[in-house]
Structure 1
Amino acid sequence: MPNKKTPTIWAIGDVQGCCDALQELLNHPEIKEDEHAQFWFAGDLINRGPHSLKTLRTIMQLGERAVCVLGNHDLHLLAVYAGIRRENKSDTIDEILQAPDVEEIIHWLRHRPLAHFDQNHLMVHAGVMAKWDEKKTLKLAAEVSDALQSKHWQKYLQKMYGNEPNRWRDSLTGSKRRRVIINALTRMRMCFEDGSMEFGSKDSPFDNKSNDIMPWFELPNRKTEKTTIIFGHWSTLGLMIRKNLIALDTGCVWGGKLSAIRLSDRKLVQVECTGKRR
């Protein structure tokens, strides 16, 4: 039997409900011509953009061709649905909550991972702690996924929010352990030199004037430094393509672009975002 062809993989940055830009991207000649291509979405599929429900339905219709990791906005939707959080004024998730198929959508979302690895590429939404290698990252992400996919998933979300603990210890258990995992994979940007997370900074790291903090990917002795990591979450960082680092949040929801990169040769495709953020 012939060997099964490795599918082309396009990694896509934060969509955040900008479905018009997503559909334009999927219909781009470079992308549309390969009907077997896979699409890796780096989290924050929804919220702030004008068409969150349509975005989810578009991605869900891709079936197994779509690989999605959860971002902080996706987790926020789950928390609001579970009655743990209230909607914010800038949210655009009410149409999802009112949809007739909301239970199906929430079930689908709960079964998305927080980390995905294939072809020596590790995809997360925000970042990976310096003490975690690829295998540990996947194992810890799976702990959270097991909780989200369990019968009592709402209970586990109740203690998801908070900035403490802000550093990893193997001895952590229960809600504190899950909170550190979630914060690292879906919220982290800057860290102190000892690897602990700093949550106050959202600006570009190139504008950072503090010697006390640095981008998580600049931490010394990071155990994933030889693994290519794909992430989003950081629109002020923008597009960054290095040997072992691909940052893809190019601020579509803020009037920027939606970006996709082909992993095999790093071919970049971008479309302008025409939708307006609420």
Structure 2
Amino acid sequence: MSRYAVGDLQGCLKPLQCLLNEVGFQAERDQLWLVGDLVNRGPDSLETLRYLYSIRNSLRITLGNHDLHCLALARGATDRGRHPSLEALLNAPDCGQLMDWLQQQALVLRSDDGRYLMSHAGIPAKWSSEQALSLSNEIETVLQGPEANNFFTAMYGNDPLLWNNALSGLPRLRAITNHLTRMRISNAQGELELQFKGALADIPEGYRPWFEWHKPNARSETLIFGHWAALECQTGRDDIIALDSGCVWGREMTILDMDSGELHRCDCNS
């Protein structure tokens, strides 16, 4: 079995298939890790989810902010921010089946061999790997329970920006979700700045990329994340790997061979 991890798809099915062909991926044998934001903005959100559902036994998925937003739209928890690229998916006869499956996914995953830890936006430096997995489980429990729609309604918003273990209720769930699916930069205290989406050179004073607050090789796992297209996969370190190379913006899609460490890329304009 070979294992691969791929950056944000955002409804770009053809580049994904290009990469899977390039690495010789076989669903009946191999495993594909998806770092989140499977849908939205790209041309084929519906067909992307249908394809992924067809090989679902070969997948390990962490949800991104766009996936959660799509679920909220599909469940009727919000009507704001409805992107035209989602219309075919939300109106499809199998939308319910696809959303039920998507809603079963995690926010943090660790590989069975303990080598990798994956989430959509990253893992705050102040959280241990075990804490990150435990906090992810809190969201998974809500997503798969009777309070899911209340969560979808309340997950929008930036507060609280600073994590506190004593947080409870919906503010706690929102903070977990924002750290794992929307985080890019924070200050020395760990307070997030959630409006920033730019390049490293444009980070406001007093803030740094979340991964720069991590001591090198402090964890036993290598972290895998996506979400930050403007980063262009540049973290400057081997123990934290960024995979969102901006396919939906006309750049590239990136896949990681999790066993060899080799990266493969497909031009999303081709």
| Shorter-normalised TM range | over 0.9
Q: 1:35 to 1:83 in 2, by over 3 A?
A: closer
Q: Deviations over 1:41-100 (max 9, x none)?
A: 000000000000000011111122111110000000011112222253644111111111
Contact 2:217 2:239 in 1 (8 A): no
Alignment correspondent of 1:63: 56
8 A contact 1:10–1:261 mirrored in 2: yes
Matches within 5 A, 1:86-97: 86-88=79-81, 90-97=83-90
Q: Mark the CA change 1:240 to 1:12 in structure 2 (over 3 Å): closer, same or farther.
A: same
Q: Residues 125 and 224 (structure 1 numbering): CA distance in 2 closer, same or farther, change over 3 Å?
A: farther
* Equivalence map 1:34-49=2 (5 Å): 35-49=28-42
Residues in 1 aligned to 2:27 and 2:157: alpha-carbon distance in whole angstroms:
43
Q: Does 1:105 align with 2:104?
A: no
- Partner amino acid, structure 2, of 1:126: A
Q: Cα offset for 1:225?
A: 4.5
**Residues 226 and 244 of structure 1 are in contact (CA less than 8 Å); yes or no, is this contact kept in structure 2?**
no
Tell me the distance in 2 between the aligned counterparts of 1:90 and 1:149: 25
SS of the equivalent of 1:230 reads strand
Q: Structure 1's 106 and 90: CA in aligned 2 closer, same or farther, altered over 3 A?
A: closer
In the TM superposition, what is the alpha-carbon distance from 1:229 to its structure 2 partner? 0.6
Alignment partner of 1:234 is 2:228: yes
What is the deviation of 1:20? 1.2
- How far apart, in 2, do the equivalents of 1:190 and 1:180 lie? 14
1:127 aligned onto 2:135? no
Identity of aligned residues (%): 37
Do 2:216 and 2:239's aligned partners in 1 also have CA atoms closer than 8 Å?
Answer: no
Structure 1 residues 148, 253: closer, same or farther in 2, change over 3 A?
same
Higher alpha-carbon deviation: 148-157 or 266-275 = 266-275
Aligned to 2:14: 20
* CA separation of 1:209 and 1:238: change in aligned 2, threshold 3 A: closer
* Secondary structure of residue in 1 paired with 2:186: strand
Amino acid in structure 1 at the alignment position of 2:260? D
| Counterpart among 189, 192, 196 of residue 194 in structure 1 | 189
- SS of 2:171's partner is helix
Q: Secondary structure at the match of 1:182?
A: helix
Deviations 1:219-245 (A, max 9, x none): 155996443110000000012363211
The within-5 A match list for 1:66-85 is 66-85=59-78
Distance in 2 of aligned mates of 1:108 and 1:16: 17
Q: In 2, distance between residues paired with 1:222 and 1:155? A: 39
Q: 1:155 to 1:231 in 2, by over 3 A?
A: same
| Matched residue, 2:260 | 265
Please give the secondary structure, in 1, of the residue aligned with 2:178: helix
Whether the aligned pair in 2 keeps the contact of 1:130 and 1:222 (CA below 8 Å) is no
Note if contact 2:39-2:67 (Cα within 8 Å) is conserved in structure 1: yes
* 2:205 aligned partner: 211
Residue 163 of structure 1 aligns to a residue whose secondary structure is coil
TM-score relative to the length of structure 2: 0.93
RMSD value, Cα: 1.9
1:150 match: 145
AA at the equivalent of 2:123: V
Greater displacement, 123-132 / 209-218 = 209-218
Unaligned stretches of 5+ residues in structure 2: none
Q: Indicate whether 1:179 and 2:212 are aligned.
A: no
Q: CA deviation at 1:176?
A: 0.6
Kept in 2: contact 1:240–1:248 (CA 8 A):
no
> For residues 147 and 64 of structure 1, what CA distance do their matches in structure 2 show?
23
Distance 1:176 1:34 in 2: 39
Q: What amino acid sits opposite 2:257 in the alignment?
A: R
Rounded to whole Å, the distance in 1 between the matches of 2:62 and 2:129 is 15
**Alignment-mate amino acid for residue 132 of structure 1:** W
**Count, aligned residues:** 267
